[in-house]
Chain A
Amino acid sequence: MTDFLNDWGITLMVFTPLVAAFAMMLLPGKPDIIHKQVALGASTLTAVWGALLLFNFDYDSASVMQFGVDRSWIDVVNARYDVGIDGISLPLIALTLFVVPLVILYSWNHIPKPGNAKAFLILTLILHTGMLGTFVARDLVLFFVFFEVVLLPMYFMIGVWGGEQRLYAAIKFFLYTLFGSALMLVSFLALYWLTGSETFNMAQLAELVSTSDIALGTQVLIFGGMFMGFGIKVPMFPFHTWLPDAHTQAPTQGSVILAAVLLKLGTYGFIRIALPILPDAAVEWAPWIGLLAVIGIIYGALGCLAQTDMKRLIAFSSVAHMGYVMLGISTLTSFGISAAIFGMVAHGLITGMLFFIAGSVKDRYHTLEISRLGGLLVQAPRMGWILGFTTMASLGLPGLAGFWGEFPAILAAYNPGGGLSQPLFRVYMVVAAIGTVLAAAYLLWLLQRTAFGNPSEEFADNPEITDASKLEYISWVPFLIMIVVLGFVPGLIFDVADAPVSEMAEVWVVK
């Protein structure tokens, strides 16, 4: 069994959804139920493969790439099919495996207009493969391919099934990300030639860069290209403007996947590729990344306060939360980077959950105007409570997952690594801490105006407004459980990520 997993585990996990998607293409479009069953079955099977991998993962040596497969692929460009899992990618793979089946389950009777479950689910499965592939790739070319594969299904998901402004949002999302990844690609190739290596393997490149004498200025430029690619995906201020549009216009499932997993591809790229390969350039960039991160925190929070649309508010809160993740990364300490990894998972669960609720509110009220909503706790008490619970988690209440993403990131800024300026990062720390207050303000404000009080007259006697359905429960409760579990047992992620992150951060430890 172990041998089998070593050879085939990752490949099966990554490509099961894609194979299912091809199978679904061959099936007739009606009835919908077949496609739903196939999609759910495939994503569950994927989760089973993933679970087998997670159970057989050797947690004592989490810093080592496990289940590695290294086969020749496109020889001429020295690209290899080179995949593996370590403690950094494991939490994110787990997050992906967890989120997608629940999203498909939620789709059972929530296929957004204009319908066509077949196409919608095929795109979801292609996304699934793209996301998992990005997290397991150890080869830059393979990474790039998977990183880009997710663009296509998300573009169509927003464009076909999205809201009124969907065309604008879809193309904006697409062009922004494409712009970043084009520059990222140039960076990858520059690195390839500069190291004189015959490989795109990330670990080998990191080693080669450390032993070669590439001028720091060149390294900083290369880091800049990667920064554009990953930073736009995160998204960091000032490249965030695609996000509110994409999130708001995307169908519920699209928003959930976008928030839960897609944004993490950017931050993961920083941790997996940019920082370990170019640690010196990272030191040069860190103050700027930190600055943009705290601007993002404050700007996102202020943006939230100005929103009148519930979904758009949640989208802006993503900008703020990803700011904490980036702040954690910019400290260049193992503590901060571990916090960033935790923050990614926590944000994925919490914001994903918020988007689910927003979607269900929209289904019932047909609007997300905060000023028209109100009294959710009266009309749909359980949904109201879930909203309350999730906002609490989102604002970083201790005991829930959100706390462990934000608090250590802020704390890590107190004492940054890599010889970074302490006073500067302490200023960042204070600003980020103020950000948490603002977060509390906008989230409580949201909760107050949507859940508390009495329902407005226009919705008071509307029979459409019912409490959460059984299906919604089934797809939501796992999220809520995980938010609590991670809140109480943060070690689940910290312990896994600690070893590889410490190893990586060793270069920045000030002696």
Chain B
Amino acid sequence: MISFDLLANTELAFERPAIDWHAAAPELVLLAWGALVTLVDLVWLEKARRFIPTLTGFGFLAALIPVVTLWADSDALPRQMFDGAYVTDELALVFKGLFLLSAYVVVLLGANYLNDGNYYDSEFYQLISASVLGMLIMASARDLVPIFIAIELVSIPAYLMAAWRKRDLKSNEAGLKYMLMGVFASAIMLYGMSLLYGMAGSTQISAIGEALTGLSDRPLVILGVLFTLIGFGFKVSAVPFHTWAPDTYEGAPTPLTAFLAVASKTAGFVALLTVILIGFESKSELVEPFMWVLAAATMTIGNLIALRQTNIVRMLAYSGVAQAGYMLAPLAVYSANPELSRSAVVNYLLIYAAMNLGAFAVVIIAARKTKSGEISSFGGMFQYAPGLTVAMTIFLFSLAGLPPVGGWLAKWRVFESLLFFGEGSTAPSLAGVLLAVLVALNSVVAAYYYLSVAKQMWFMPAVNDDNSTIKIPSALTIALAIAVVITVVSGVTNLMPELSTADFGLGQ
């Protein structure tokens, strides 16, 4: 406060922009809570260690409260700050809710994992809080600068956490690979962003959108647009920018892998949606073919490589790549109906979060007994852990897109947006139809490897005939229950489609 008073007396008077404290509350609560966790750790040291995970989890839930109150006060939405650079609209709230809830589940997954491995864990939770803070910012950012800050805030703690199992070479590899690739991607993206800024004279996405409308496809425009998209392509692990994902996923602590595969990927998609649907709205002729190729390559190559995996985490990594391909697909035809494409992507992200976190939860639980990540180690689980087997089967079938569990509705909406055509035309675009058929074929390929896990669990005998049961800690049970309930409910109710059609404020 003092510094403001001093400034007020000088020529360089700085007028503090109006801050909507309610709109900023989720971020502030999380920030304060993160500081609190750090303090608790510093003051009580070892004594606090046992409570840190729980405390962090509560922090995410506490940050969820303002999200809910903001949602309840829906008349005031969208709330804008900083000249429209920071917008809290319905969709941002949906994403914030998703990030916080996934983070809570990840903390539940991590609690026992880190403790058992005897790694530093207080710091882990502080870092994860920072990363989630970046995601919350990402959901509201409508300006290149906050978007970039958010991406880095999401990623940098994740680089550290990926290498958390420091006595394990694979974990070191995971962290290093992730960091090098991530930094490389950031550099490309930043270059693209600087070109966009150069053309538009503003970092606001909406201003860039307006500036691009009048410009022809000069090389400068093409480079600016594509470099920015490529940067996000790394974040969502789209082919050919996916190469970091399997190694990082395999080497990183599994709870963090779940976090990367769900929350971090969603953050990348949020940025993509914002930039494409607001900034590059007029450049659909340039963006759509690029996204088409990206989506087609991502789903096909992801699936084909996933077929060959014997390690469950690597398999889920490649399946996650393929799933990203399905999510990219609606963006290949977004000009026909931006709202529909957007809600198809959002719907997929919401359902994907539940089913994929669930699958990772089962992997973590199973590894407590088998100490192995091989798919063959799931053998005979139906005999000794029928409940866990049923849960995993639900997640696998959902990932494969089979009714009645969640995944089918996610795919349905993707198909819906691909086959849409508006007033002006008499048939869906050829690009859309071809991509839809490709998604259909890929779903069949994907079903094979998802089912091969189910096959191990149901049809095969247990490894070494070891039919002892698995003890599931209560934190993991809660995580599993949340994931199962959401996965099942989202397949047979209107909940996720409804949330995915939330309003998307464009900023100014």
B428 near A193 with CB under 8 A, answer yes
A148 near B416 with CB under 8 A, answer no
A73 near B494 with CB under 8 A, answer yes
- Interface check A51, CB cutoff 8 A: no
Q: Number of A interface residues at 8 Å Cβ cutoff, please give it.
A: 40
| 6 nearest CB pairs, A to B | A76-B497, A182-B440, A145-B403, A148-B403, A189-B419, A179-B444
The CA-CA distance from A75 to B343 in the complex, in Å, is 14
Q: What 9 additional pairs, Cβ within 8 angstroms, besides A160-B382, A160-B458?
A: A25-B390, A145-B492, A148-B403, A170-B455, A175-B448, A179-B444, A183-B437, A186-B419, A193-B420
A193 near B451 with CB under 8 A, answer no
A183 near B448 with CB under 8 A, answer no
Shortest C-beta distance, A185 to chain B (Å), equals: 6
Closest to A158 in B: B459
A189 near B415 with CB under 8 A, answer yes
B494 near A186 with CB under 8 A, answer no
A148 near B402 with CB under 8 A, answer yes
Residues in B with CB closer than 8 Å to A149 are 403-404
**Per-residue B-contact encoding for A130-167, CB less than 8 Å = 1, 0 else:** 00000000000100111011011001100110000011
Instruction: Select the stretch in B245-253, B275-283, B406-414 that faces chain A.
Output: B406-414
Shortest C-beta distance, B485 to chain A (Å), equals: 14
A175 near B447 with CB under 8 A, answer yes
A185 near B412 with CB under 8 A, answer yes
A185 near B440 with CB under 8 A, answer yes
B458 near A156 with CB under 8 A, answer yes
10 contacts between A and B (CB under 8 A): A72-B494, A74-B494, A145-B408, A148-B403, A148-B408, A167-B455, A171-B455, A185-B415, A189-B419, A190-B419
The CA-CA distance from A186 to B411 in the complex, in Å, is 11
The CA-CA distance from A146 to B491 in the complex, in Å, is 12
Interface centre among A72, A75, A144, A190 (most CB of B within 10 A): A190
B447 near A174 with CB under 8 A, answer yes
- Interface check B372, CB cutoff 8 A: no
Of B397, B412, B436, B444, the residue contacting A152 (CB under 8 A) is: B397
Interface centre among B447, B448, B459 (most CB of A within 10 A): B459
Known: A119-B386, A189-B415. A77 touches B440 (CB 8 A): no
**Per-residue A-contact encoding for B445-464, CB less than 8 Å = 1, 0 else:** 00110011001001100000
Interface residues of B in 256-275 (CB under 8 A from A): none
Interface residues of B in 488-508 (CB under 8 A from A): 492-494, 497-498, 500-501
- Interface check A194, CB cutoff 8 A: yes
Shortest C-beta distance, A209 to chain B (Å), equals: 14
The CA-CA distance from A148 to B492 in the complex, in Å, is 13
A76 near B498 with CB under 8 A, answer yes
B412 near A141 with CB under 8 A, answer yes
Interface residues of B in 384-408 (CB under 8 A from A): 386, 390, 397, 402-404, 408
Of A74, A146, A166, A182, the residue contacting B493 (CB under 8 A) is: A74
B447 near A76 with CB under 8 A, answer no
The CA-CA distance from A206 to B75 in the complex, in Å, is 42
Known: A75-B494, A77-B497, A193-B421. A178 touches B403 (CB 8 A): no
Of B343, B382, B440, B500, the residue contacting A183 (CB under 8 A) is: B440
The CA-CA distance from A155 to B497 in the complex, in Å, is 29
Instruction: Provide the main secondary structure of the chain B interface.
Output: helix
Interface residues of B in 185-203 (CB under 8 A from A): none
The CA-CA distance from A74 to B347 in the complex, in Å, is 13
Residues in B with CB closer than 8 Å to A182 are 440-441, 443-444
- Interface check A422, CB cutoff 8 A: no
- Interface check B286, CB cutoff 8 A: no
Interface residues of B in 147-194 (CB under 8 A from A): none
- Interface check B427, CB cutoff 8 A: yes
Residues in B with CB closer than 8 Å to A74 are 409, 493-494, 497
- Interface check A218, CB cutoff 8 A: yes
B459 near A218 with CB under 8 A, answer no
Instruction: Provide the main secondary structure of the chain A interface.
Output: helix
Q: Number of B interface residues at 8 Å Cβ cutoff, please give it.
A: 41
The CA-CA distance from A411 to B233 in the complex, in Å, is 62
A194 near B427 with CB under 8 A, answer yes
Residues in A with CB closer than 8 Å to B421 are 193
The CA-CA distance from A144 to B419 in the complex, in Å, is 17
A178 near B444 with CB under 8 A, answer yes
Residues in B with CB closer than 8 Å to A166 are 459
B451 near A174 with CB under 8 A, answer yes
Residues in A with CB closer than 8 Å to B420 are 193
Of B404, B413, B415, B451, the residue contacting A186 (CB under 8 A) is: B415
Shortest C-beta distance, A401 to chain B (Å), equals: 33
Interface residues of A in 20-52 (CB under 8 A from B): 25, 29
A76 near B501 with CB under 8 A, answer yes
Residues in B with CB closer than 8 Å to A174 are 447, 451
Interface centre among A29, A72, A167 (most CB of B within 10 A): A167
The CA-CA distance from A77 to B421 in the complex, in Å, is 15
**Per-residue B-contact encoding for A59-87, CB less than 8 Å = 1, 0 else:** 00000000000001111110000000000
The CA-CA distance from A74 to B494 in the complex, in Å, is 4
**Per-residue A-contact encoding for B345-385, CB less than 8 Å = 1, 0 else:** 00000000000000000000000000000000000001000
Shortest C-beta distance, B183 to chain A (Å), equals: 39
The CA-CA distance from A175 to B441 in the complex, in Å, is 11
Shortest C-beta distance, B43 to chain A (Å), equals: 46
The CA-CA distance from A149 to B404 in the complex, in Å, is 6
Of A76, A141, A146, A186, the residue contacting B440 (CB under 8 A) is: A186
Closest to A148 in B: B403
Residues in B with CB closer than 8 Å to A192 are 416, 419
Residues in B with CB closer than 8 Å to A160 are 382, 458-459
Closest to A122 in B: B390
Shortest C-beta distance, B401 to chain A (Å), equals: 8
Residues in B with CB closer than 8 Å to A183 are 437, 440
A159 near B455 with CB under 8 A, answer yes
Residues in A with CB closer than 8 Å to B497 are 74-77
Closest to B413 in A: A77
The CA-CA distance from A183 to B433 in the complex, in Å, is 11
Interface centre among B390, B421, B427, B448 (most CB of A within 10 A): B427
The CA-CA distance from A119 to B451 in the complex, in Å, is 18
A159 near B459 with CB under 8 A, answer yes
Residues in B with CB closer than 8 Å to A75 are 494, 497-498
Residues in B with CB closer than 8 Å to A25 are 390
Residues in A with CB closer than 8 Å to B447 are 174-175, 178
**Per-residue B-contact encoding for A182-210, CB less than 8 Å = 1, 0 else:** 11011001101110000000000000000
Residues in A with CB closer than 8 Å to B501 are 76
Residues in A with CB closer than 8 Å to B408 are 145, 148
Closest to B437 in A: A186
Shortest C-beta distance, B266 to chain A (Å), equals: 20
Residues in A with CB closer than 8 Å to B343 are 76
Of A77, A119, A156, A194, the residue contacting B416 (CB under 8 A) is: A77
The CA-CA distance from A149 to B403 in the complex, in Å, is 6
Shortest C-beta distance, A265 to chain B (Å), equals: 14
Residues in A with CB closer than 8 Å to B427 are 194, 215, 218
Residues in B with CB closer than 8 Å to A218 are 427
Interface residues of A in 233-287 (CB under 8 A from B): none
The CA-CA distance from A195 to B443 in the complex, in Å, is 26
The CA-CA distance from A171 to B455 in the complex, in Å, is 9
The CA-CA distance from A186 to B436 in the complex, in Å, is 7
Shortest C-beta distance, B487 to chain A (Å), equals: 14
Shortest C-beta distance, B414 to chain A (Å), equals: 10
